[in-house]
Amino acid sequence: MKYSALRIFTEALGGNKGWKPVWREPEPKARYDVVIIGGGGHGLSTAYYLAKEFGITNVAVLEKGWLGSGNIGRNTTIIRSNYLLPGNEPFYELSMKLWEGLEQDFNYNAMVSQRGIINLFHSDSQRDAYVRRGNAMLMAGADAELLDTEGVRRLCPFLDFDNARFPIRGGLQQKRGGTARHDAVAWGYARGADSRGVDLIQNCEVTGFDIANGVCKGVVTSRGKIAANKVAVCVAGSSSRVMAAAGMRLPIESHVLQAFVSEGLKPVIPGVITFGAGHFYISQSDKGGLVFGGDIDGYNTYAQRGNLPVVEDVCEGGMAIMPMIGRARLLRMWGGVMDMSMDGSPFIDRTHIDGLYFNGGWCYGGFKATPASGYCYAHLIARDHPHPVATELRLDRFKTGRMIDEKGAGAQPNLH
């Protein structure tokens, strides 16, 4: 069923009785060409691009809970491609380009809104760093503009420009950045994959792998064994737990990131704004809530909830750049479990076990990467060599000394 304005009109005339479920609920088959573990944003987009771009449709997506029940439904919905390093920036720019055509591509309203993102800077040295970052973005084909204080003031007059400690000297703007409706991204990919023949199997937990002589031949699940030529793990947040079943230790720690939304307000914040002297980022949803977040809590955890010290820290960051939000009441806060990698960058790679592929380590930047992650993972699974923009996202990069350390924080995952 193709969605369109005409369709809404004609369905309305028929009492809206013609709408069908968006995807099937199939029983798992005994064998697939590709089994994807994890029905979140990345798993669903992998299935979608496998079917659409690479012609592999005998695919199952196995999901422990319900589709999109993990971090695709828990993030702050920001999309951007303002990275610095050559191993990262072309990948995120591919993602940005896929975002721009996404809704037409999968015929679903993901509410992609290119309302722009501004990274504020507060000192001369930080300005230099952002000039460098902006140039790196331009070289990768992304857009970047440097704003001075007046340029930022024109867009966001409510900021605390003359803050005694962190005066706002300007910002690096990416106008093509913005936000998207996170759940709709998962649903759109799910619908697109399902309509091309992919089986989306919910309430099906993978409990082990069928590995013999260094070859992965399938998975053991709570709904029986499923054989597969290729098994693609895509479970960021739980990567260490799942890959432990395959006997692998990963360069990953699991941490909790909290996110917050205020009561609904009239439009006040034009795009996405990030604080350069602390860790705070904020946007306003179409419903009016201020959506914001900051640092991870800093200790290993698999609990999808954080603690109060970080709540205080995030709110202090908000008050430091826009004191007006002190008047808004916090409506909800929640936590999601992040794969924090040792250099702050993700992995899309084969493993040393034939037929077993790994996608994870997204830290807390996985949402914006959803389209490119799926596209590049599907490319890797279908062709067995990495997509040109994802050649550096390797699992063995710490062994070979090819880290992609955007922050320069080293092997200290709670600082990325």
Partner 1 sequence: MIIHHPLLGPRDAAEFTVLGDASLIERPDPQSADAEDRFYDYVYLRDNPAGLHRELWYHEQGDRSWLVVTRNTLTHEVVGVELARDVALAKRTGKRARTRKGGSA
Binding site for partner 1 (CB under 8 A): 238, 240-241, 244, 249-254, 298-303, 307, 309, 342, 398-399, 411-414
**198 or 342: CB nearest partner 1:** 342
Given CA atoms 393, 399, 404, 410 in this order, what sign does their dihedral have?
Answer: positive
CB of residue 304 vs partner 1: minimum separation in angstroms? 10
Strands 224-233 and 356-360 come out as: parallel
* CA nearest to 273, candidates 158, 390, 101: 158
Using alpha carbons only, how large is the chain's radius of gyration in Å? 21
> Is 218 in contact with 360 (CB distance < 8 Å)?
no
Nearer to partner 1, 177 or 335 (CB): 335
Q: Which is nearer to partner 1, 274 or 301 (CB)?
A: 301
Query: Whose CA is closest to 339, among 238, 244, 225?
Result: 238
Q: From the CB of 297, what's the least distance to partner 1, in Å?
A: 9
Nearer to partner 1, 177 or 336 (CB): 336
Q: Shortest distance, CB of residue 129 to partner 1, whole angstroms?
A: 25
Distance in Å, CB of 87 to partner 1, minimum: 17
Pick 12 or 303: Cβ nearer partner 1:
303
Give me the least distance between CB of 106 and partner 1, in Å please.
Answer: 34
Cβ proximity to partner 1, 294 vs 413, nearer residue = 413
Q: Report helix, strand or coil for 35.
A: strand
Residues 6+ apart with CB under 8 A from 216: 209, 210, 228, 230, 231, 246, 353, 354, 355, 356
With CA atoms as reference, report the closest residue to 34 among 196, 211, 228: 228
Q: How far is the CB of 312 from partner 1 (least distance, A)?
A: 8
By beta-carbon proximity to partner 1, the closer residue of 194 and 295 is 295
Both tokens assigned to 352? 């040393």
Q: How far apart are CA 363 and CA 366, in angstroms?
A: 7
Pairs from 215-220 (Cβ < 8 Å, separation ≥ 24): 215/353, 215/354, 215/355, 216/246, 216/353, 216/354, 216/355, 216/356, 217/355, 218/31, 218/35, 219/35, 219/37, 219/62
Distance from C-alpha of 215 to C-alpha of 235, rounded to nearest angstrom: 20
Q: How far is the CB of 187 from partner 1 (least distance, A)?
A: 28
* Smallest separation, CB 239 to partner 1 (Å): 8
User: Between 89 and 253, whose beta carbon lies closer to partner 1?
Assistant: 253
